[in-house]
Chain A
Amino acid sequence: MIEAVGVTKRYGSTLAVNDLSFAARSGVVTGFLGPNGAGKSTTMRMIVGLDAPDAGRVTVNGRPYRDLRFPLHEVGALLEAKAIHPGRSARNHLRWLADSNGIGRRRVDDVLEEVGLAGVARRRAGGFSLGMGQRLGIAAALLGDPEVVVLDEPVNGLDPEGILWVRNLLRSLAGEGRTVFVSSHLMSEMSLTADHLVVIGRGRLIADASVADFIRSSSANHVRVVSPQAGVLKTSIQQSGGSVAVEGDDTLVVTGLDCREVGIIAAQDGVTLFELSPQQASLEEAFMEMTRDSAEFLGESHVRGGAGA
């Protein structure tokens, strides 16, 4: 369980995280999404005690990270791949980590095997590809068999086989009852991996919902209608409060009304329908829709600032 309550973090004049509250529960994969610069990495750094919040608190299993002794038994984190001394071998990197938390050396070889790096365990980490660095970072996160796993962009630089491996790993970790908190900018990947989403924009919480609810609530959902009398139908739908985009001669894309409502309108008008189908937004579309506001806010405030100067 990871819990953030009213967390604010400022770097100089930049407000990186602004009054952010959310929780990541055990037994589910919680996806952490946001546009670049939204404050994802900052939040993750505060979870593992690297940065201290200016206000609010972040706890792991009810305690601030910096109060944990031998934390690797409770929390495993991958914050950036290749935060590793390039001159040290993969095995020696994991060995000093294991030593620091009283973890046995056998566990080092076990996790190297688990992430598929056993064959290159003695090679210097400086020569590793980005994907191998990610695997080593994940091995480090799993070293203490932790209840909470925090991963920042774990599939970065991985090949399709590696991406599938991470997906299955995260699912099985959550299946074992662990808390899995993972950030990614790959929406399609997140829709396959995450159960729950925490979405932030400009340091503020935008959504904290299940993946299904998040997509369902998105205004990017629409209804596709095909009719030979599209023009008549368009007027009626607009009068009922829906908005309509025309696609070709006979196709309408309706937002603001659901299939049932559109069907009733068509029946009242005596309009023939060839197709009436709900179009569910992808996670990506829902995300773009949700975070657009924070992007627009950025543009607007910029203009205001310019006018005042």
Chain B
Amino acid sequence: MTVTTPELRRTERRPPSAFRLFGAAARSEWTKLRSVRSTMWSLLVTVAITVGLGALFCAARVSRWDHLDPGERLHFDPAGFSLNGLFLAQLAIGVLGVLVMSSEYATGQIRATLGAIPQRRTMLAAKTAVFGVVVLAVGLVACGVAFGFGQLIFKAKHAGVSLADPGVLRAVIGGALYLAAIGILGLGLGAILRRTAGAVATLVGLLLVLPILVNFLPSPWNDDISRYLPGEAGTAVFQVVRDNTNGLSAWPGFAVLCAYVVVALVGGAVLLHRRDA
């Protein structure tokens, strides 16, 4: 059978470079992130917790200041202490990270996403980059403000520190880095597990439950293992004086946390590439 069909006139399109592919994917993810309200709310909650809870802790510490023994005052870490809200804020960011990936599966949108960007690992990389930069920016604001409020409160007891003091600037920036790492850890878990509930449970297990369980182990196993747990290792980066003398120092600790993040992301990328969507 010979049928003459009209030829569709098309302008020749040069296939985009890998760089342009990533750029377009990143722009797309940025549009996605901005256009749902839950993102804004989660980020606001993260800032509110970091600043509000931090200030509350600082105020409580100041009110008890005169009752502290000299040793406690000597080892007090005004910078790290003002960032203690991060222990709760990390959950808000971690859950948002999970949702960035798992909500795609829950709504079925993942099929549109992978239909538009069949280069699945490029898509995941772009998603991670955009989300990481956003959390880092929000984290810097949150930690900066929390640090500022904290030092204002400590001023009453002449216990505050300044950003110029050794390790302080690193701790404030480290707080933002810690949040970004936890968020991306959530994103990676979301990519692996594809279900919100499972990924959130795993994240909470890693950050909160595992340290408790490890503590039940006989010494010195408990200390040997716990210093390499993601939360325990990662928190060093926003503390100037470690409360746990057994723990890793700032950058090695953060590197350990990053190793967990990389494992989750690479696992997610491999599964995303291989599995049917």
Q: Which residues of A contact B (CB under 8 A)?
A: 25-28, 45, 48-52, 65-73, 77, 79-80, 82-89, 92, 95-97, 99-102, 140, 147, 175-178
**Cβ of B30: which chain A residues have Cβ within 8 Å of it?**
99
Q: Are B108 and A99 in touch, CB under 8 angstroms?
A: no
Q: Are A102 and B16 in touch, CB under 8 angstroms?
A: yes
**Cβ of A27: which chain B residues have Cβ within 8 Å of it?**
3, 5-6
- B5, B35, B107, B111: the one contacting A96 at CB < 8 Å is B35
- Besides A77-B115, A147-B10, 19 other A-B contacts (C-beta < 8 A): A25-B5, A66-B118, A66-B119, A67-B118, A69-B15, A69-B21, A70-B24, A71-B115, A79-B111, A85-B36, A88-B35, A92-B31, A95-B31, A95-B35, A96-B35, A100-B117, A101-B24, A102-B16, A175-B6
Q: Is B222 an interface residue (CB 8 A)?
A: no
**Cβ of B113: which chain A residues have Cβ within 8 Å of it?**
100
| Contacts known (A26-B8, A100-B25); A85 close to B115, Cβ less than 8 A | no
A89 to B32, CA, bound (A): 11
Taking chain B's interface residues, is the majority helix, strand, or loop, or is none over half, making it mixed? helix
Q: Are B7 and A51 in touch, CB under 8 angstroms?
A: no
| Contacts known (A77-B115, A82-B108); A96 close to B15, Cβ less than 8 A | no
Write out, one digit per residue, whether chain B residues 210-229 have a CB within 8 A of any chain A CB (1) or not (0). Answer: 00000000000000000000
**B31: nearest residue on chain A (CB-CB)?**
A96
**Cβ of A77: which chain B residues have Cβ within 8 Å of it?**
115
Q: Are B111 and A83 in touch, CB under 8 angstroms?
A: yes
- B24, B28, B31, B118: the one contacting A68 at CB < 8 Å is B118
**Cβ of A178: which chain B residues have Cβ within 8 Å of it?**
8
Write out, one digit per residue, whether chain B residues 20-39 have a CB within 8 A of any chain A CB (1) or not (0). Answer: 11001101111110011110
Q: Are A26 and B5 in touch, CB under 8 angstroms?
A: yes
**B35: nearest residue on chain A (CB-CB)?**
A92
**Cβ of A88: which chain B residues have Cβ within 8 Å of it?**
32, 35-36
Q: Are B7 and A177 in touch, CB under 8 angstroms?
A: yes
Q: Are A99 and B6 in touch, CB under 8 angstroms?
A: no
Q: Are A87 and B118 in touch, CB under 8 angstroms?
A: no
**B15: nearest residue on chain A (CB-CB)?**
A69
Q: Are A69 and B119 in touch, CB under 8 angstroms?
A: yes
Write out, one digit per residue, whether chain B residues 255-277 have a CB within 8 A of any chain A CB (1) or not (0). Answer: 00000000000000000000011
A89 to B108, CA, bound (A): 16
- A28, A66, A83, A102: the one contacting B112 at CB < 8 Å is A83
**B9: nearest residue on chain A (CB-CB)?**
A177
**Cβ of A73: which chain B residues have Cβ within 8 Å of it?**
13
Q: Are B13 and A97 in touch, CB under 8 angstroms?
A: no
**Cβ of A84: which chain B residues have Cβ within 8 Å of it?**
107-109, 112
**Cβ of A71: which chain B residues have Cβ within 8 Å of it?**
115-116, 118
Q: Are A80 and B108 in touch, CB under 8 angstroms?
A: yes
9 A-B contact pairs sorted by A residue (CB < 8 Å): A51-B276, A66-B119, A70-B16, A84-B112, A85-B32, A85-B104, A88-B35, A96-B29, A97-B28
Q: Is B202 an interface residue (CB 8 A)?
A: no
**B29: nearest residue on chain A (CB-CB)?**
A96
Residues from 8 to 63 in B contacting A, C-beta threshold 8 Å: 8, 10, 13, 15-16, 20-21, 24-25, 27-32, 35-38
